[in-house]
Amino acid sequence: MCGVFGYVTNRDEALGPILVEAAQRLTYRGYDSVGAATFRDGRIDLRKDVGKVDAVAERHGLRDMRGSRGITQLRWATFGAPSQVNAQPHLDSDGTMAGAHNGNVVNNAELRVEFAVEGMTVRSENDGESCVHAVERHLRRGAGPIDAIRLAYRDLEGDYSFVIGRADDDRLYAFKKGSGLVVGIGDGFTCVSSDLPSILPLTRDVIRLNDGEIVTLWADRVEVRSVQDGEVLERPVETVSESMDAARKGGFPHFMAKEIHEQPQVARELLHLLDASADVGPLVERMREARHLYLVGCGTSYHAALLGSVYLAQVAGRVAIPVLAPQFIAQYAPAVGPEDVGLFVSQSGETKDVLNALEAADRRGMVSFGLANVVGSALTRATQRCLPLGCGFEISVPATKTFTNQVLAFLYLAYRLGGRDTGELTGIPELMEQTIAAVDGPIRAIAQDLADRNDLYCLGYGATYPIALEGALKLKEITYAHCEGMLSTEFKHGPLSAVSDGYPIVFVAGPSDTPLIISGINEVKVRGARAITIGQEDARLRANGDDLITIPASDPQVSALLSVIPLQLLSYHMSVLRGFDPDFPRNLSKTLTVD
């Protein structure tokens, strides 16, 4: 999840400070490199590098840049490792056009080959450069700027927004397809950005663009057109009253809430990435041939691996062994070899326990693959193939969108391994949106009732067992209440003794496991517990439990994925009601780089 900003004025001025400050206001989105391009006297000044904004600005003199138009971009690597050549903005073949994007162009690999065959100069592996060449392609064929952009829009698959300018022009152009894009209108200038924070210190008058729209920016006006037919569209100017902090959080009170609501969009982007990935096919074939298949992770990533093992068995008929990374070293590493495959899972790609397990596997010659959110991290460099999660930066310490994308990646791999059509998964993001809308109100009410409780259980079975573990972890992390996740059928083997009047127990019910869950519900209710059930609408669950939080109907695998969302929201609302900051729980770090 990158950040991009463009600025247009009608005079030559010191744009460097404006661009650097805009970039600094987008750093919360996460990035590995930064760059800027200014347009002056028919020439383009491009400066970029790997590193933090201040360091790159100092190293390359970004604050000294001048011109009448400028673009700056923060890159979060997905296509191409973090490097100076892959940093954005990018130039066209002859250096007379520059552009940068936010998002992912998933047919990047194919396009780069096409552009090279067509005689263009392709300098990087980055999909931002493909956006520039896509426009260049149609300009070369005789199209005007707007039509070239309209045609490029059709060539570029994925979710992205893009800003581009020509050296001999007085305008910038931007277009939106899936990723955010906001226009700002000020006194003697206009600007455009992937997010409000880079605009608000400059102007409060904005236009929010929709997908399939192109905006042309002059210093004194903007014009919005439809990609479909090129017709001019009327767009009202909105005066924003949000504070800078609220804008960074997308209007949500905390980053955790924002990231929970981002899950449908990042799920869409991940499905696009996996469909286009050249690594998925070879990875799946090696998994198919493996003597033993291990899924290795810690914490939330382990819970995703545990659910992944259920998916692989249910969908593909393939046994996979989920294991906590430190235990892998003691229990499995001494016996693995080249015939075995390990899939090592880490949100950050820097989790020390996971890297230790990977090192132990490598010493035995085991084939090692990765699943990580940060391209260029230690895990992505050390594994033979590593699939990106495509979540962008996750600021809140509790993992939400990275967990659901890990789970979705495992489900995708299970479909591929089982020979099923992954197109069946495209409805999941919409189901996630429906789930958030349906459960937030009822969950708020239950959180109010449970806010003072310091002890509870979360129980699941089959595919929902890992979800119960993850829900319990979230409650522990940010409410500081003790919540134990457990297989529902194990509860009677000891923990049942803890039940007393009003004791809260959350059941996560899969659609095929209702009879077992009903048995568990009654087992605790007759002893005075309050049974809260998360599952699809079912008269039996409603009749037997105290509360039923309903999620949309789907198959058992997808239902398990959806059922984590109510638990994320329950944790979030309980944390806030108890007076804690859910984004930064005590004693915890986002990335664990120590043993």
Q: What is the pLDDT of residues 43-68, one digit of tens each?
A: 999 999 999 999 999 999 999 999 99
- What pLDDT score does 243 carry? 80
- Is it the case that residue 467 has pLDDT exceeding 80? yes
Confidence of residue 125 (pLDDT cuts 50, 70, 90): very high
The secondary structure of residue 210, as a DSSP letter, is: P
From the list 2, 191, 298, 391, the catalytic residue is 2
Percent of the chain residues past pLDDT 90, beyond the cut: 86
Q: What's the rounded mean pLDDT across residues 122-150?
A: 96
- Is it the case that residue 180 has pLDDT exceeding 90? no
Q: Which two tokens stand for residue 123?
A: 């300098």
- What pLDDT score does 588 carry? 78
Q: What's the rounded mean pLDDT across residues 431-441?
A: 97
- Is it the case that residue 456 has pLDDT exceeding 90? yes
d(CA 88, CA 238): 30
From the list 52, 352, 525, 590, the catalytic residue is 590
Enumerate the domain spans of the chain.
3-248, 252-420, 432-595
User: In terms of CATH architecture, what is 252-420?
Assistant: 3-Layer(aba) Sandwich (3.40)
Q: What is the CA radius of gyration of the chain?
A: 25
Q: What's the rounded mean pLDDT across residues 243-248?
A: 80
Determine contact, residues 205/239, Cβ cutoff 8 Å. yes
Helix (H) or strand (E) holding 34: strand 33-40
Percent of the chain residues past pLDDT 70, beyond the cut: 99
Confidence of residue 346 (pLDDT cuts 50, 70, 90): very high
Helix (H) or strand (E) holding 477: helix 465-479
Cα-based distances in Å from 99 to 39, 151, 489, 579: 11, 16, 57, 45
Q: Tell me if domain 3-248 and domain 432-595 are identical in fold.
A: no
Name the 3-class secondary structure at 475: helix
- What pLDDT score does 591 carry? 62
- Is it the case that residue 589 has pLDDT exceeding 70? no
d(CA 446, CA 451): 8
Place of tokens 């890992």: 466
Q: How many CB atoms lie within 10 A of CB 543?
A: 10
Q: What's the rounded mean pLDDT across residues 499-509?
A: 94
Q: What's the rounded mean pLDDT across residues 276-303?
A: 96
- What pLDDT score does 297 carry? 97
- Is it the case that residue 595 has pLDDT exceeding 80? no
Rounded to the nearest integer, the mean pLDDT of the chain is: 94
The angle subtended at Cα 378 by Cα 374 and Cα 384, nearest 5°, is 95
- What pLDDT score does 594 carry? 53
- Is it the case that residue 235 has pLDDT exceeding 90? no
- Is it the case that residue 29 has pLDDT exceeding 80? no
Domain 3-248 has CATH 3.60.20.10: yes
Confidence of residue 590 (pLDDT cuts 50, 70, 90): low
Cα-based distances in Å from 50 to 164, 191, 200, 264, 421: 21, 25, 27, 30, 39
For β-strands 504-508 and 530-536, DSSP reports them as parallel
- What pLDDT score does 199 carry? 93
d(CA 408, CA 427): 12
44 pairs with which residues across the strands?
Answer: 39
Q: What's the rounded mean pLDDT across residues 429-444?
A: 97
Place of tokens 């065959």: 117
The secondary structure of residue 178, as a DSSP letter, is: B
pLDDT tens digit sequence for 385-404 = 999 999 988 889 999 999 99
Q: Is 52 a catalytic residue?
A: no
Q: Is 2 a catalytic residue?
A: yes
- What pLDDT score does 323 carry? 98
Closest to 435 measured CA to CA, from 205, 231, 267: 267
User: For the chain, how are helix, strand and coil distributed in percent, rounded to 5?
Assistant: 45, 25, 35
Q: What φ, ψ does residue 484 adopt, rounded to 5°?
A: -105, 125
- Is it the case that residue 275 has pLDDT exceeding 60? yes
Q: What's the rounded mean pLDDT across residues 196-215?
A: 93
Confidence of residue 15 (pLDDT cuts 50, 70, 90): very high
* Superfamily for the 432-595 domain: Glucose-6-phosphate isomerase like protein; domain 1 (3.40.50.10490)
